Structure 1
Amino acid sequence: MKKLFGMLLLLIIILAAILGIRSETVFKDTQLQVQQLEHNLPLDTDAAINRFAKGIQFQTISHDDPEKFNAQPFIDFRQHIKLSYPLVHQIAQQKTFGEHSLLYYFPGTDKSLKPALLMGHMDVVPVDEATLDKWQQPPFSGVVENGTIWGRGTIDDKVTVFALLESMELLLQQNKPFKRGIYLAFGHDEETGGTRGAVKIAEYLQQQGVEFEFVLDEGGAITEGIMPGIEQPVALVGVAEKGFVNLRLTVNSAGGHSSQPPEHTALGILSDAIVKVENAQFTPDLTFSKMTFDAVATYAPLSSRLSMANLWLLEPVVSNVMVKSPSSAASIRTTIAATMAKGSSKSNILPSQASAVINFRILPGDSIESVKQHVISAIDDERVMISDFMSINPSEVSPTDSFGFKLIEKHIRQLDNDVLVAPYLVIGGTDSRYYTGLSKNIYRFMMVRLNPESLTRFHGINEQLPVEDYLNAIRFFHAMLQETAGVELSENSNG
């Protein structure tokens, strides 16, 4: 027995040594080594801030109910940017889609170079009237106070629209030719699916035979205090995004008076089906979590490196920990969310039809069809009819060694080389999902800084943006546009 115990102890020591050695040797520092630069742009910062602040005042709201759509703020918004950025509107080839979405094209002289597309969206989500008294500044005031710009859209996503326009206006002032063509696309209905804006723009570009070197849309950001154990800020650049599908479950029955119910009503059968689906969670996949962690691993504490370096043994443990938190669970599996249900119209009437909607956010590797089959198998009840609506498959995964990704990484780090850059999976949806057929290199990043507190302001109360974040967004996009277009500027114009 002592010999067996000794052998077991030896095996444990050897295993512990292997785990420890791997945690110190598996990961390499892959951060791009660049020198931090001063970006001294010839920019009237007060005027730029005022243009942005005024843009927040236009209530370009996207409502789920199309009857509530108000076109006038979009018309006024377009007039504002036309007056604010005259060179952009003089030089660009322009088209409008769905009456309000905008596409600008700045041709390049070298036709062998594929153009690039940079995107943002003009629309914002509504403000819940019940929360108005909780806003420190009115949500569409565009107030600039104590170094902060207040209002709906300051983060999501007018910051990108205005930073791109400011950057392009500055670049055009140099009167230098573009070698590579540049497209700017600004949707007006991203918050309700982009079907009248981004979809139509993408269809038009596909008809024109356009293929992009890369596409850059919203999605990631510079995060602070989001990744456990990582003290430095981490810029998360989306290389893929989840798809989604709504499945409607329907059960029909004879109905009748509630005084003579069957053993299981249509609503009872439906409820059982929902529980079966919720109990049949999808298998976790750590592919994207590992991709993100690998990029910053050498800056992580040993406890994190130990588990991630030894997924060959510890993957079930890591997965079990991650699925306990809704935010981390969403990054490693297709999610299940029962969101809507309907029975009869009166408490004493048996429902002749009961229905419910379950929303799935689909991890790359799964598909609309595989999700549907998963649900059919989980319910295993012919009385429950299943149909899908409003769906799109997850995106392809874009490479991290492309011109576009390296350019994004370079200009993030040149602004602040304390910021680490890592690829990640966007768990929400962006307009870029419609451009899959136009480029293999689609990335999602906006130059703002987010911490656990500011993350709650997305679609929430007190949306705001530090002035310095906005100016950094202009610096970032100016550098991106300059290098992408191959424009050589004079020394005093780009620091």
Structure 2
Amino acid sequence: MKKWKLFTLIFISFLTVFLIVTVYKTLTIASKQPDGQITEATVNKNEAVEHLSEAVTYKTISYQDRAKMEFSEFDRFVDFLERAYPSVHEELQLEKINDYGLMYQWKGKDNGKQPIGLTSHYDVVPVLDGTEGNWEQEPFSGTVIDDKIWGRGTLDDKIGVIGILQALEYLLKEGYEPERDMYFMFGFDEEIGGDLGAKAMADTLKDRGIQFEYVLDEGGAIVEDMVPGVQSPVGVVGISEKGSATAELSIEGSGGHSSQPKSQTNIGRIARAITKLEDTQFPADLKGPGEDLFEYVAPEMSFGMRYIFSNKWIFEPVIERVLLQEPASAALIRTTIAPTIFQAGEQYNALPEKASAVINLRLMPGDSLQDVKTFIEETIEDDSIKVEVEGSEATKVSSVEGEPFQKVQQAAKNVYNDAVIAPYLMFAGSDAKHYDSVSDNTYRFLPVQITSEDLNRMHGTNEHISIDNYLNAIKFYIEIIKESNR
């Protein structure tokens, strides 16, 4: 009986200490959010709307087959910019890279400070054949109705180009002078990789010895209901983007008549390999940008969620299991596997001699292409299946410590005072990756408040932006330029 009492006492003492430590950690976790300083910028609404509306009308469409690109439309767009933004083109130096990559330089007063770069792209994806009739407004009309601007590029990413130029025109008319050099780089082929636009501009800057303190591109945005336990909108700033790899699994062997199949056919073996990969999955690990996200939002959570995330050292396995329940959160903590193409057979009664499958993988920072290949081979356990992997690995992870990230965060808070601004891992690709070689940090943030439906519209049907959202984007670019020069 005495031993039982002693055990009970020890257990209660341990539990008490545990609760004191974990509750104290929960209550004392400090917010990582700066105080928002409400922007004083007053944007000319009519002019701004007119400019984005017209910008949408130019069909600057990127195609994988570059021969299909109508560069006359790109010429017209560039002419429009020169006409719409006279102060920018008088005061800033414009250099054209590969004719259509637009690189503006704004000279600062202090040559000793590292320059800052803002970048966007003005090419857009095509409208899928057969879907034109599904649009409520013509996709290249730039229609303004019900306080919305409609058309391809209003979200991805002419809003970035026009938003930055509107901000520059505003600041120039105000007589503003930057402390440091600033560069504004606008790509024209981001949707097909950015090789002749952003990459060429980055290579040009590298040859000249230009090294940015940071570059800011499109990417994350301000969204609601993104993080459990956080009532406020969350603005996510990409500090890295996942790599994108293509794995091809292929097998060759004798075919034959379907009336006498082998116990293991080529199709069956490829299918079994895919099943093993989907059942196994890459290991999940809450680290890097995903961990940074929750460190920034944890102080803003309700008490129950804050308790769990403030004590990750205990609850990490539970957190990871929860995150794995949803595709979006699962992608934050592991390399993803998505079979996209399966090819085999031509005749219903003939066994195919060849079978292959293509898998798209989005790589976590730290996972190499060789890691992916090794994982696939060890998982499928079939030496007859050839595995080939190609693609790009994740970009470097930019810092959330120090001034560069804080400047982006502060500028966003100045416009969206109620939002929680946090780092995250971007799943899609952007031009930002090309600037990694010439910038200490690269961040990815589209300064608008969007819904999950808006995300589907970016490359889909009925792309549009509210006028208030667009005006806030301009204000953000005004604020980020000011914050970068304090």
Which category describes the TM-score, using the shorter chain as reference length? over 0.9
Q: 1:351 to 1:66 in 2, by over 3 A?
A: farther
Contact 2:26-2:311 at 8 Å conserved across structures: no
Instruction: State the partner residue of 2:403.
Output: 403
Instruction: State the partner residue of 1:489.
Output: none
Q: 1:31 aligns with which of 13, 30, 33?
A: 33
Single out whichever of 211-220 and 349-358 deviates more from structure 2.
Answer: 349-358
Instruction: State the partner residue of 1:225.
Output: 225
For residues 23-102 of structure 1, the aligned pairs below 5 Å read: 24-25=26-27, 27-40=29-42, 43-102=43-102
Cα distance in 2 between the residues matched to 1:70 and 1:333: 40
Cα distance in 2 between the residues matched to 1:262 and 1:224: 54
Residue 295 in 1 paired to residue 263 in 2?
no
| 1:158 positional shift | 1.0
Cα distance in 1 between the residues matched to 2:177 and 2:298: 42
Instruction: State the partner residue of 1:490.
Output: none
| 1:430 positional shift | 1.0
Instruction: State the partner residue of 1:344.
Output: 345
Contact 2:414-2:479 at 8 Å conserved across structures: no
Instruction: State the partner residue of 1:492.
Output: none
Map Cα deviations across residues 348-382 of structure 1 (whole Å, 9 max, x no partner): 33323222111110111212221121112112222
- What's the secondary structure of 1:382's corresponding residue? coil
| 1:123 positional shift | 1.6
Contact 2:222-2:236 at 8 Å conserved across structures: yes
Single out whichever of 297-306 and 319-328 deviates more from structure 2.
Answer: 297-306
- What's the secondary structure of 2:141's corresponding residue? coil
Q: 1:348 to 1:232 in 2, by over 3 A?
A: same
For residues 281-292 of structure 1, the aligned pairs below 5 Å read: 281-287=281-287, 288-292=289-293
Cα distance in 2 between the residues matched to 1:106 and 1:166: 15
Cα distance in 1 between the residues matched to 2:311 and 2:172: 51
CA RMSD between the two structures? 2.4
Q: 1:65 to 1:356 in 2, by over 3 A?
A: farther
Aligned length: 483
Contact 2:22-2:311 at 8 Å conserved across structures: no
Q: 1:348 to 1:17 in 2, by over 3 A?
A: same
Cα distance in 1 between the residues matched to 2:373 and 2:249: 11
Residue 387 in 1 paired to residue 388 in 2?
yes
Q: Which runs of 5+ in 2 are unaligned?
A: none
Q: 1:191 to 1:22 in 2, by over 3 A?
A: farther
Contact 1:124-1:156 at 8 Å conserved across structures: yes
Q: 1:93 to 1:257 in 2, by over 3 A?
A: farther
| 1:14 positional shift | 3.4
Single out whichever of 120-129 and 463-472 deviates more from structure 2.
Answer: 120-129
Instruction: State the partner residue of 1:367.
Output: 368
Residue 17 in 1 paired to residue 19 in 2?
yes
Single out whichever of 183-192 and 410-419 deviates more from structure 2.
Answer: 410-419
* Structure 1 counterpart of 2:111, one-letter code: K
Map Cα deviations across residues 206-227 of structure 1 (whole Å, 9 max, x no partner): 1222100110001111222222
| 1:483 positional shift | 4.3
| 1:52 positional shift | 0.6
* Structure 2 counterpart of 1:205, one-letter code: L
Cα distance in 1 between the residues matched to 2:464 and 2:8: 62
Single out whichever of 344-353 and 116-125 deviates more from structure 2.
Answer: 344-353
For residues 48-197 of structure 1, the aligned pairs below 5 Å read: 48-174=48-174, 177-197=177-197
Q: 1:7 to 1:68 in 2, by over 3 A?
A: farther
| 1:126 positional shift | 2.2
Q: 1:190 to 1:3 in 2, by over 3 A?
A: same
Instruction: State the partner residue of 1:426.
Output: 426
Cα distance in 2 between the residues matched to 1:298 and 1:45: 36
Single out whichever of 223-232 and 129-138 deviates more from structure 2.
Answer: 129-138
Single out whichever of 365-374 and 11-20 deviates more from structure 2.
Answer: 11-20
Residue 279 in 1 paired to residue 270 in 2?
no
| 1:454 positional shift | 2.8
Cα distance in 2 between the residues matched to 1:277 and 1:66: 35
Map Cα deviations across residues 151-178 of structure 1 (whole Å, 9 max, x no partner): 2211111111001111112223345554
Q: 1:36 to 1:384 in 2, by over 3 A?
A: same
Instruction: State the partner residue of 2:478.
Output: 478
Question: Structure 2 length as normaliser, TM-score?
Answer: 0.92
Percent identical:
37
* Structure 1 counterpart of 2:463, one-letter code: E
Cα distance in 1 between the residues matched to 2:454 and 2:228: 17
Map Cα deviations across residues 229-277 of structure 1 (whole Å, 9 max, x no partner): 2122222111111111111111111334434433322222222222222
Q: 1:353 to 1:96 in 2, by over 3 A?
A: farther
* Structure 2 counterpart of 1:49, one-letter code: V
Question: Structure 1 length as normaliser, TM-score?
Answer: 0.91
Cα distance in 2 between the residues matched to 1:458 and 1:303: 35
Q: 1:78 to 1:293 in 2, by over 3 A?
A: same
Single out whichever of 329-338 and 475-484 deviates more from structure 2.
Answer: 475-484
Contact 2:250-2:270 at 8 Å conserved across structures: yes
Cα distance in 1 between the residues matched to 2:207 and 2:252: 45
Cα distance in 1 between the residues matched to 2:28 and 2:372: 35
Instruction: State the partner residue of 2:262.
Output: 262
| 1:12 positional shift | 8.1
Q: 1:89 to 1:333 in 2, by over 3 A?
A: same
Cα distance in 2 between the residues matched to 1:156 and 1:335: 24
Q: Which runs of 5+ in 1 are unaligned?
A: 487-495
- What's the secondary structure of 2:480's corresponding residue? helix
Map Cα deviations across residues 96-138 of structure 1 (whole Å, 9 max, x no partner): 3344322222233422111111011112222234443432222
